[in-house]
Amino acid sequence: MLGISTKSAESHRAKIMEKLNIHDTAGLVRYAVREGVIQP
């Protein structure tokens, strides 16, 4: 859909998690729901 590789997506996710000081994927999902980025 975005036209990027899996490796690129993983790299972006890791950088976002580092900047937000989030240590696991579940925490990132909770953050996204709380901020309205995604819906539960």
pLDDT tens, residue by residue, 1-39 = 889 999 999 999 999 999 999 999 999 999 999 999 999
Dist. CA 7–CA 14, nearest whole Å: 11
In the chain, beta strands by DSSP E: none
Dist. CA 5–CA 19, nearest whole Å: 21
pLDDT of residue 26: 97
Residue 40 has pLDDT above 90, yes or no: no
Dist. CA 26–CA 34, nearest whole Å: 12
Residue 10's φ and ψ, nearest 5 degrees, are: -65, -40
Dist. CA 18–CA 13, nearest whole Å: 9
- Output the pTM of the full model: 0.80
